Structure 1
Amino acid sequence: MSRKHHWHRQSDLFFVALGFFTRIPMPSWVEVDGDKLNQASRYFGLVGLCIGLCCAFVFWLSQLWLPAGVAVLLAMIAGVLLTGGFHEDGLADTADGFGGGWCVADKLSIMKDSRLGTYGALALVLALLLKWQLLVELALYAPMVAVWALVLGHCLSRVLAASIIFTETYVRDDDSSKSRPLAQTQGIDELLILLATGLLLLLCLNGVVAFALLIALWLIRCLLVALFRRQIGGYTGDTLGAAQQLAELGCYLVLLAMGNAL
């Protein structure tokens, strides 16, 4: 494979990942197939970095004229508009399925249902409120702390969520799930590039903060994997969305706890 063809394929994979996880349209010259969808998982962290940068820019610009709480809310709205609430939907569906189903089949059926239940509504509202409060508290340290938090939270949480594809089993056999094209395989190349994205970002931080984030995210991943295995025996697209949202909140919690070290 020539170098030109290699970089052309890598750009295709990035745009496939960007188109899958955001409302940003892919260029017309990008051809999508099952193989590219599998390999595109290597760039999920990079997509998260792009989303985080956009949200951080909205926050930074807004806080120049508006109170921190309003600026944080605008940044959150920007993130939802960019992704179409993709991950928030996964969190709500996962909460409904795990909370309302008695067996695996019931849980998967409930998660596939487009209607929002009590468990999903509670999870979504509480997660959004907690996210807003954590970011406002971080902004009180300094606006740039919240800027960094948004970038880190969006990138690292997607690295964690996508890494679950590598080790866990996809448990839905039909084509109704949002993650079905990504559930076939994730090779070691995809995993290494995915992890490298997060590690490179962590290298930009204070060593103590970076280490705390690394340990916290590893623990969050272990807990989520154990929960998913116990509840449904693996993962679905909805549980990946839930993992992203919970990992993002975990990042903000760690950063707030480590505030004096930032």
Structure 2
Amino acid sequence: MTRNRLVEDLFVALRFFSRLPIPAQSGEEAPFGAPPLARIAYVIPLAGAVISLFGAAVLLLASALGFPPFLASCLAIATVVLATGAFHEDGLADTADGFGGGRDRARRLEIMRDSRIGTYGACALALSLLIRIASLEALLVLGGPVRAVIALVAAGAASRAAGIVLLQVLPAARIDGASAGAGQPGADAAMACALMAALVVAVLLVPSFGVGATFAGLIAPALAGFVMARLSARLIGGQTGDVAGATQQVAEIAFLLAVLMFAKAV
């Protein structure tokens, strides 16, 4: 694989998963449509880490300016949400509404397609934001700004891999959905995505948090993805793009909580 190929694929992933102004590249047939997951899956964890870097920069700046940990954490998470255009949060809200409000498979899928937000979705969004902010605040207090930043960036990588693997292990729940149009990444691509995420997590966490935290940071998103896959298979008979987004959110929370258990006061 050439360096140019990696950069090109990373740009494609960043354009899809964020609101960053990434221009179309020459030769792309549908630059603003669903990306070729089989090709770019391996760089999606890197794209997640890059997106989280924006929140990390804000977290460092806010801490340097003397902002309280809670406020600094709020600004950091808000930055990540803005950078993605609430891409994954939208999936979480739709999934929570569908899974919580539907009485059968057809009704759940219908609710998930509805752009309006319901009680389950609102509660899921509020809890996701609060838990991520609280976890980041605790990491700031216990481990300091640098370690909190490292955890945030690693979480961005690990959680994206959980969503991609879910798309591979379950069939599309409907034939006309976004995930069906994008297609499954393929077993090899999903494995490459998981390995890239593991590499990023290991490189970032081992020097700063130790082997125990690294192991926890690898296992927690995998368990979160497993739970989401089982739940989605039972309730809607497969996966959708919304479920993949919800899985990313749950996996990020699981990652931050797992690493937080190993953070010590400095």
Question: TM > 0.5 between the two?
Answer: yes
1:261 Cα deviation from its structure 2 partner: 9.7
Which residue in 1 is equivalent to 2:255? 251
Give the match's secondary structure for 1:173: coil
Query: Among the aligned pairs, what percent are the same residue?
Result: 39
Aligned to 2:237, which of 222, 233, 237? 233
- Residue 16 (1) aligns with residue 12 (2): yes
1:197 Cα deviation from its structure 2 partner: 1.7
Which residue in 2 is equivalent to 1:158? 160
More displaced 10-residue stretch of structure 1: 237-246 or 23-32: 23-32
Is 2:18–2:83's contact at 8 Å kept on the other side of the alignment?
yes
Distance 1:133 1:261, change over 3 A: closer
More displaced 10-residue stretch of structure 1: 220-229 or 37-46: 37-46
Is 1:93–1:238's contact at 8 Å kept on the other side of the alignment?
yes
Alignment of 1:118-137 (within 5 A): 118-137=119-138
The one-character-per-residue Cα deviations of 1:108-160 (angstroms, maximum 9, x if unpaired) are: 11000000101100111111111111111111011122111211111100011
Is 1:13–1:36's contact at 8 Å kept on the other side of the alignment?
no
Structure 2, gaps ≥5 residues long: none
- Residue 195 (1) aligns with residue 197 (2): no
TM-score (norm. length: structure 2): 0.89
More displaced 10-residue stretch of structure 1: 11-20 or 104-113: 11-20
1:21 Cα deviation from its structure 2 partner: 0.6
Alignment of 1:171-190 (within 5 A): 171-175=173-177, 177=178, 179-182=179-182, 184-190=183-189
Give the match's secondary structure for 2:264: helix
Counterparts of 1:162 and 1:51 in 2: how far apart (Å)? 16
Is 1:209–1:261's contact at 8 Å kept on the other side of the alignment?
no
Distance 1:11 1:188, change over 3 A: farther
Amino acid at match of 1:222: F
Is 2:136–2:148's contact at 8 Å kept on the other side of the alignment?
yes
What is the root-mean-square deviation in Å for CA atoms of aligned residues? 2.0
Distance 1:166 1:37, change over 3 A: closer
Is 1:90–1:240's contact at 8 Å kept on the other side of the alignment?
yes
Give the match's secondary structure for 1:27: coil
More displaced 10-residue stretch of structure 1: 72-81 or 197-206: 197-206
Is 1:17–1:47's contact at 8 Å kept on the other side of the alignment?
yes
Structure 1, gaps ≥5 residues long: none
Counterparts of 2:35 and 2:55 in 1: how far apart (Å)? 31
1:35 Cα deviation from its structure 2 partner: 7.5
Which residue in 2 is equivalent to 1:168? 170
Which residue in 2 is equivalent to 1:215? 219
Report how many aligned residue pairs link the two structures.
255
Which residue in 1 is equivalent to 2:25? 29
Counterparts of 2:35 and 2:116 in 1: how far apart (Å)? 32
Is 2:41–2:192's contact at 8 Å kept on the other side of the alignment?
no
1:180 Cα deviation from its structure 2 partner: 4.2
Give the match's secondary structure for 1:114: coil
